[in-house]
Chains A and B, each alone.
Chain A
Amino acid sequence: MSQERVPAIPVSFEGVRRAGGGRRRYWKSLDELADTPAFLEFLHREFPEQASMFGDPKGRREFMTLMGASLALAGLTACTKQPEETILPYVRQPEQLVPGRPLYFATATGHDGYARGILVESHEGRPTKVEGNPDHPASLGGSDVFGQAHVLGLCDPDRSKAVLYLGQQRTWGDFRAALREPLRKQQAKGGSGLRFLTGRNTSPTLAALMRGLLADFPSAKWASWEPASRDNARAGAVLAFGEPVEPQYRFDRADVILSLEADFVSGHPASLRLVREFAARRKPTGEKPQMNRAYVVEGSPSSSGASADHRLALRSSEIEGFARALAAELGVAVRGGVAHDWVAPVARDLKRAGSRALVIVGESQPPAVHAIGHAINEALGAASSTVSYTAPAESAPGVEAKSLAALVAEMRQGTVELLVILGSNPMYAAPADLEIAAALDEVPFRVHHGLANDETAARCHWHLPASHPLESWGDLRAADGTASIVQPLIAPLYHTLSDLELLAAFREGEQKGHAIVRAHWAGELGGDFETRWNRALHDGVVAGTAFEVKAARVKLGAWANAPLKPEPDGGLEIAFRTDPCVFDGRFANLGWLQELPKPLTKITWDNVALVSPRTAAELGGVAVEQTASGHVTDLAELSLGGRSVVAPLWVLPGHADGAVTVHLGYGRSRAGRVGSGVGFNAYALRTSDAPWASGGLRVRKTGGRARIACTQDHWTIEATPHEQAAERHLVRAVTLAEFAKDPHAIQKLGHEPQPGLSMFPPFEYKGHAWGMTVDMSSCVGCNACVTACQAENNIPVVGKDQVGRGREMQWIRVDRYYEGPPESPETYHQPVLCMHCEKAPCEVVCPVAATVHSEEGLNDMVYNRCVGTRYCSNNCPYKVRRFNFFLYQDWETPSFKILRNPEVTVRSRGVMEKCTYCVQRISRARIDAKNQGRDMRDGDVVTACEAACPAQAIVFGDVNDPESRVSKLKAGERNYGLLTELQTKPRTTYLGAVRNPNPEISGTPGEKRHHG
């Protein structure tokens, strides 16, 4: 694989070179760089395929016929009366419930086992929306895409609804009767054939129940295992400290952060808090601007790498050498380093920061790198400053992979007679080398308890439907130990039991979840239980349950000298990553998440094999063709250790060379109507000894082609040729040094239009005037705003085919821009929503006044007036309007009816829609304030996107109030608008990105610009 022979990049990137000379050029896709005809098509016509239909004479005639008919029918609809409706009041109205007013309850979601505090909005008993819980240490008020989709999980129509025996419907009574005999047999032999398998568990009550069960059945065993393994981190802590401690990071105290493949934006139990703390230090203001600095060394581009000041693309296996060299440079007695240009400057920077520096290591790195990370932190004095150590939150902190492997070995030997699987799906996600299917078949009595009739359920004798966490009582710990009570928002929709109720039934017969959890905490909380219990339910956290900080000293061991694992010769390296949208596959049936463009690739409804431009060239080029109905790319067979899958290839700028990244969570066979058969199953290549990365991968193009729905070129703001694009300055970024030298550096990148050029008289705003700022400096591109908006505003899911045609409906899109060469670009995220222009181009072209200016400066969309001409959308320079080409919304499925936000109209076919600035929240706040006889205050209106944002990058408020946060930000030095030269006067403005590169590292943005 000599790198001299192949061209550096697969297509022509003249554009990059042309745009040199000190001016930065931002691009969204390789197609844009290469100016392919398909890209230009998307640029000029919002919906390429639809627009070309009228050229065809037959289509035109057909259109006239249909129009005639629909006009006649539309006229007749005026003659109908509304159908008679009934009102069903309560028989006994619950206390505190005021009909028409939502209530909020604090509870927690378990993500990968660890608690994230949430507040759930409940409309007359129906949970409709999730917000972060500001009082919870792992949320601080922010939320993520998984938290936002929690309510959709409850309403998933494919949830399991009944007890099944060999696929036949049975009752809970039947199951109990069937269990009696095998359980009695186990009692006789102390449970030597009884095994439990759960996911990672942090629930104190479940752990206590399990302890009780294991006391009753002393020879029984409990395995807990999670596909997103944290074994490396635990093993690394054991290497360094002799015990499996959990590092607790404090990004708010860290001036310099080095991440060794740690995706702190989305791949850490405390991600939401880390993002909050990280982002808070990336919002420099004009006076004495200060920022933290982040280095990310990683193989597969992640949101963390995209947010960093410096990102170094190294293959996963190369990072250990880098870490060892860095540790040695910092005076830690570690050998085996591999020299790299970055080692010296990064080490100097870390040393300068001293105790205000921090090294964080990702789960995908081997234990030795974790140990080295701990050693570096200790050498820097970071321990007890930016990082402290506590006990881990899991109730069974063992090596999960070993625990599962041991269980499978026992199953194969035939010693397991009664297997109970709780909320785990090993048939789909277990390492391929375990060959779990055959092992499972050896167990004579298999029980699966879970939310869905999934792959594992199909392989078990009994499948028991589980209650959703929004339907059941429970408890969870956050990674720092803080416990939360999980309380139900609604009674179980179907005949289901929670895992606690099921386990309790093994011992003491039927018990309600509430009684089980209460009884456990009555023992824990002790005196004045009632008050403390109610407080815990109200706050969403049990006070005083965070773990105490442990004193931990690093002991250098053999790992410090251990030789590097020799790289398997030949082939490429494969990296396995959880998917940023469907995680490990458990969310595969949630349409919101399937249709969410992935933060960096902007692919929806699929996973792909990601390669760098250079590796793509080495594979003989990856031909990605952009058509009007989506991208078409090459299929390749990935073979590793005798196993293979076929996957679409995709070129991702910034990927490490010589490596392929695949995301887990796809290729499910029994996910449900949404997720089954979507993508390819990367678990088929994953083995227990190499869960995150492995060498020796062979890639062979099959000659087949696959269609991919990728949104990266959709809604591109028109600005060609590229010289003009540079003039338009949609993305503005400077370095901290430039910003410090000239606080107006960002504003000087564009030219503000002269005021008073408009022919229309200005609007007057006597009361409020709403506006928003989006901070590109702190946005990490996590997509939480997109999903929050989807949940709040009843936005439909349209499916892969429609997304491919550029018809996705999300009101917010996060445009991902690259700058620099495709091998190692910088990445910027720009969430784009309706700008609510003062002089909105859409308003003046609507023939039926369905989009009009409100008294408070909102650009109102009146669905009941809209006749679907789409003139507004054609005239919107920001391309933020979305059109219901078909009846996208599911009006039939009963479980979705309880999910809708009753404050927002559910739109039908033929209607235009777009961001409303959450006008329903503005109305509620306005009426509440008026009812209290006061004016609205800053912060009364929090839009769904603003509330969800863990980075607090979105700020909404009244621009007529000079004291509001948004007014102050808009008056700041970083504020700029998009396309302001068009005189649209957008109300949504952006705060330019500031990056803080280390001048000692070559290739930094500042360097590049100065040396041209």
Chain B
Amino acid sequence: MAQVFPRAANDFARASLIVGGLVAASVLGTLVFVFPRSSYVTRQKEARAQPVPFYHLHHVGGMGIDCRYCHTSVDKSAVAGIPPTKTCMNCHSEIFKESPTLEPVRASWREGTSIEWVKVHDLPDFVYFNHSAHVNKGVGCTSCHGPVDKMAFVWQEQSLLMEWCLECHRAPERQLRPKSEVYSVQWQPPSNQLELGRKLMLAYDVRPQVTCSTCHR
């Protein structure tokens, strides 16, 4: 019986073993190292629909409302605070009071039931992040939350992976800004950011911990 495969098929078979191994390794590597960091898992940059089409783009970018008008506890507490319906009604009992898009807000106010906002920045439950510790030390809102003034529906600007946290905890000078600029959405890091950052680290006594129990307990 004639040979089905030519001699070269042997080399081909050997090569395919090596190539196949490499392919398998890269698939595995992707699964282990790339996939968990992908935006598919982290949901980075994915704008999330909300029960009320609240646009930061309009309220912050357009009207220039300060972050703290709504997120009142950001400098006092671990959580920045999602505003109570009352805060919405401060204005919307006067303006756009007939608008159908605001009906869920009025319903909440009428019936005393909370609006169910979708959580965009959702850390795992074993992570204890504290907003006040950051904004009182010169870490600006936009450093983590991105250009909120340009977002219609808010998305998560950063990956929120632990490596991202540690990047800054190990070298905070790259992210610090003067306390007066913490809530500014226009602030851009100057060209001498590292120099400024080091100066601010001393001035604000910034000594971030990189111990596990800083965030996990």
Contact = CB atoms under 8 A, between A and B. Distances in A.
Contacts of B56: none
Interface string A77-118: 011011011111111110000111100000000000000000
Interface string A747-783: 0000000000000000000010000000000000000
A916 B130 contact: no
B43 interface: yes
Q: Which of B36, B75, B126 has the most CB of A within 10 A?
A: B126
A259 to B, nearest CB: 42
A893 interface: no
Interface stretch (B13-21, B79-87, B140-148, B194-202): B79-87
A906 B99 CA distance: 44
A903 interface: yes
A905 B124 CA distance: 10
B217 interface: yes
Interface stretch (A65-73, A333-341, A851-859): A851-859
A860 B214 CA distance: 10
Contact of A99 (B35, B77, B128, B212): B77
A931 B82 contact: no
B78 interface: yes
Nearest to A922: B213
A93 B73 CA distance: 12
B137 A864 contact: no
Contacts of B81: 89, 98-100
Interface string A778-818: 00000000000000000000000000000000000000000
Contacts of A79: 31, 35, 41
A905 B123 CA distance: 13
B133 A89 contact: no
Contacts of A507: none
B132 A91 contact: no
A53 interface: no
B213 A854 contact: yes
A564 interface: no
Given A79-B35, A89-B115, A855 B217 contact: no
B7 interface: no
Interface in B35-85: 35-36, 40-41, 43, 72-73, 75-79, 81-85
A86 B113 CA distance: 14
Specify the main secondary structure of chain B where it touches its partner: loop
A98 B73 contact: yes
Nearest to A851: B212
Interface residues of A, number: 39
A101 B78 CA distance: 8
Nearest to B78: A100
Contacts of B76: 98, 101, 931
Contacts of B112: 91
A860 B109 contact: no
Contacts of A413: none
A89 B211 contact: no
A88 B113 CA distance: 9
Nearest to B42: A81
Contacts of B124: 82, 864
B122 interface: yes
B60 to A, nearest CB: 18
A919 interface: yes
B217 A904 contact: yes
A93 B212 contact: no
A89 B114 contact: yes
A555 B187 CA distance: 86
Interface residues of B, number: 50
Contacts, number: 130
B117 interface: yes
A578 B72 CA distance: 50
B170 interface: no
A930 interface: yes
A930 B116 contact: no
A852 B108 CA distance: 47
B207 interface: yes
B125 A905 contact: yes
B217 A90 contact: no
A100 B79 contact: yes
B216 A863 contact: yes
A923 B133 CA distance: 10
Interface string B136-159: 110000000000000000000000
A98 B84 contact: no
Nearest to B70: A89
Contact of A81 (B43, B73, B119, B125): B43
B118 interface: yes
A87 B216 contact: no
B30 interface: no
A930 B75 CA distance: 12
A92 B128 contact: no
Contacts of B109: 91
Nearest to A853: B211
Contacts of B137: 930
B119 A86 contact: yes
Contacts of B125: 905-906
Contacts of B210: 855
A87 B117 CA distance: 5
A856 B118 contact: no
B114 A84 contact: no
B213 A98 contact: no
A863 B133 contact: no
Contacts of A91: 84-86, 108-109, 112-114
B101 interface: no
Interface string B24-38: 000000011001100
Given A82-B122, A87-B82, A855-B211, 16 more contacts: A81-B41, A85-B118, A92-B85, A98-B72, A98-B76, A99-B82, A100-B73, A101-B73, A852-B211, A854-B213, A903-B128, A904-B217, A916-B217, A923-B217, A927-B133, A930-B137
Interface of B: 31-32, 35-36, 40-41, 43, 72-73, 75-79, 81-86, 108-109, 112-119, 122, 124-126, 128, 130, 132-133, 136-137, 205, 207, 209-214, 216-217
13 contacts: A79-B41, A86-B116, A86-B119, A87-B117, A88-B115, A89-B117, A91-B113, A92-B86, A864-B216, A923-B128, A923-B213, A930-B133, A931-B133
Closest 6 CB pairs of A and B: A100-B77, A88-B114, A100-B79, A854-B211, A90-B84, A89-B82
